Amino acid sequence: MTRAHVIVVGNEKGGSGKSTTAMHLVVALLRQGYRVGSMDLDARQGTLTRYAANRSARAIIVGADRLPLPTHVPVARSEMADQAEAAIDERRRFEAALDELVATQNYVVIDCGGSDNFLGRLGHAHADTLVTPLNDSFVDLDMLALVDSETLAIQRPGVYSELVWESRKQRAIRDRGSIDWIVMRNRLSALDARNKRDMGHVLEKLSKRIGFRFVQGFSERVIFRELFLKGLTLLDMVEADPDQQLKLSHVAARQEVRMLLDALKLPQPQALASAS
Ligand SMILES: Nc1ncnc2c1ncn2[C@@H]1O[C@H](COP(=O)(O)OP(=O)(O)O)[C@@H](O)[C@H]1O
Ligand SMILES: [Mg+2]
């Protein structure tokens, strides 16, 4: 039995598209026939957990054969007042949940919250692949590096880059493993060509300096928001929502999700879900 490959979706910033990316990766992998575990470390906001619940409810209506489901586990932050005890409590619950998922699934997708906390760091330190969605603006870029506003020269690493650096160290100490870090641009708009180009230049330089690959992510599209309540993603529309008319923009958006998955270059697990 091989261990599942762990994909962590993280960025020390709310609203950058982590949960949206996580749910699309979960469904893209499910639709390829894999067993997928999903873990919500942002249980307070609970976006991925609510999404999983919406999806389960939907599966009862349309039939589970048409709507594959992940094995979903939320891991909440500890309520213990003492910081050291809280950390032990969080580590125990996180590791128990992850051990179970990696032993039974092909892939595990972990959605993190938008702030720096112990649980989020635990998640990061267990990543095989780390995906960081980034809104296409210099405000978001600040998390990765401080950039001179005039020359766009990189001055020093940002807080999130330091967190990833630390996670890579933790991972290496624990099992000599490494983390493949991918920064993905999200909510790309066709309108702001200059900003898009400047961001591209800086990301290119940064990727070499701090060790990530960067990929085109998703464009700004309403459809990424619309399907949430139904528990669906773009990849389910035809299969599980016959009322939906697949428009040209939807086809393009599905393509973006598939391209992201390809760009991640995930290893293929040997133990596939049974093909029946
Ligand atoms: N590519 C996109 N196009 C349009 N809306 C998006 C896109 N990506 C994310 N959103 C929306 O932005 C908001 C924040 O996204 P979310 O995935 O919840 O971010 P996070 O988990 O990082 O806080 C949500 O309303 C989501 O539907
Ligand atoms: Mg979220």
Q: What secondary structure letter does DSSP report for 219?
A: B
Q: Give the integer Cα–Cα distance in Å for 204 and 18.
A: 21
Cα four-point dihedral sign 115, 118, 120, 121: positive
User: What pLDDT sits at residue 98?
Assistant: 98
Asked if the structure places residue 271 within a domain, the reply is no
User: What pLDDT sits at residue 273?
Assistant: 44
* Gyration radius (Cα) of the chain, Å: 19
User: What pLDDT sits at residue 1?
Assistant: 59
Q: Give the integer Cα–Cα distance in Å for 39 and 43.
A: 9
What pTM was computed for the model?
Answer: 0.94
Supply the residue whose CA is at minimum distance from atom 20 of ligand 1.
Answer: 15
Q: φ, ψ for residue 164 (rounded to 5)?
A: -65, -40
pLDDT tens-place string over residues 159-173:
999 999 999 999 999
User: What pLDDT sits at residue 197?
Assistant: 86
* Domain interval for residue 24: 5-264
Among 164, 203, 207, which residue's Cα sits nearest to residue 11? 164
Is the distance from the beta carbon of residue 132 to the nearest atom of ligand 1 less than 6 Å?
A: no
User: What pLDDT sits at residue 86?
Assistant: 97
- Cα(140) to ligand 1 centroid in Å equals 14
Total count of domains within the chain = 1
Buried-exposed string 138-170: b where 16+ CB fall within 10 A, e elsewhere: eebbebbbbbeeeeeebeebbebbbbbeebbeb
Is the distance from the beta carbon of residue 15 to the nearest atom of ligand 1 less than 6 Å?
A: yes
Residues of the chain with pLDDT under 50: 271-276
Asked if the structure places residue 194 within a domain, the reply is yes
Sole residue written with tokens 């790309």? 188
Is the distance from the beta carbon of residue 18 to the nearest atom of ligand 1 less than 6 Å?
A: yes
Asked if the structure places residue 56 within a domain, the reply is yes
CB 90 within 8 A of CB 82: no
- Cα(183) to ligand 2 centroid in Å equals 16
Asked if the structure places residue 245 within a domain, the reply is yes
- Cα(162) to ligand 1 centroid in Å equals 24
Asked if the structure places residue 127 within a domain, the reply is yes
User: What pLDDT sits at residue 271?
Assistant: 47
Ligand 1 atom closest to Cα of residue 186: 1
Asked if the structure places residue 272 within a domain, the reply is no
Report the CATH number that the domain containing residue 170 is assigned in CATH: 3.40.50.300
Asked if the structure places residue 163 within a domain, the reply is yes
Asked if the structure places residue 274 within a domain, the reply is no
User: What pLDDT sits at residue 154?
Assistant: 87
Distance of CA 242 to the CA centre of its chain: 28
